[in-house]
Amino acid sequence: MKLPKVIGHRGACGYAPENTLESLKTAADLGVKWVEVDVKLTADNVPVLLHDETLDRTTNGHGPLALTDFESLRALEAGSWYGESFAGIKIPTLEEALALLIDHGMGLNLEIKPCPGREKETAEIVLDEISRIWDDHENILISSFQHVCLECARDMAFDWPRGLLLPEEWPENWADLAEYLDVTTVNINGNTSSREQIEEIFDLDRSYAVIAYTINDPQQARRLQACGVDALVSDTPDVIIENLLTVH
């Protein structure tokens, strides 16, 4: 897996509305090599880019995504909340996002972020979609907080790299989970995890890469770099790239 030092968060959401094609294009324009996005299912099982369970924060719609079909979702706009210049843009499908990234030669950290109760269903549909479109196994990481999703990824697409996302409070059995799910990376909150916790990951018999989210402070980026963290996820990836000691 060709993991870069810096990954754009939800595209480059410091400069454009998160999880939109505009945000992905902005990341490309900044020279970012990889982006992270969130994928969920509409009520009629269309994979789309969205972080929240509800539509309220990032669209002019209301209510749960899980109860909204794709046609209704597509009628909404997803840019005005961020700025007037983005008014009228739409929530993209996963297929549209993948096509754009392939066109720009970019890598992808795809977070499967299912609506509650749809973990297995979301993972299966998303993995089918990716397998149909994306064939570059060195430039993709399938990540999730949900163990069921990673279990599906392990069983359906074993040779695709997987990342275990850990919340601020690490579960006591995180190392056992990482081994059971046979992940490639452990993804941590880089603003709350300690040097000792990071060293715990590196001290394991298995060799995991460590990805830290969401890092927008250059000083914190350099501290994490000094701890050996392999990649940083940032809303402003260009700023972090400029401030790291070395970037590959």
**pTM score of the predicted model:** 0.96
Quick one: pLDDT at residue 215?
Answer: 98
Give catalytic status of residue 62 as yes or no: no
pLDDT for 245 = 64
- What CATH number did the domain enclosing 94 receive? 3.20.20.190
Pull the structure tokens for residue 128.
């089918």
Looking at the predicted structure, is the pLDDT value of residue 128 above 70?
Answer: yes
Q: Is the pLDDT of residue 152 over 90?
A: yes
User: Rounded mean pLDDT of the chain?
Assistant: 96
* 143 neighbors 162 (Cβ within 8 angstroms): yes
- Active-site option among 51, 62, 137, 147: 51
Give a yes or no: residue 14 inside a domain: yes
The stretch 50-70 carries a mean pLDDT of 98
- Domain assignment present for residue 12? The answer is yes
70 and 46 Cβ atoms separated by less than 8 Å: yes
Mean pLDDT of 208-235: 97
Q: How many domains does one find in the chain?
A: 1
Tokens of 221: 């980026």
Segments forming the whole domain that contains residue 59: 6-243
The per-residue pLDDT for range 178-199, each reduced to its tens digit, is 999 999 999 999 999 999 999 9
Whether residue 1 lies inside any domain: the answer is no
Annotated catalytic residue, options 9, 104, 147, 248: 9
Domain annotation covers residue 248: no
Active site residue 147: no
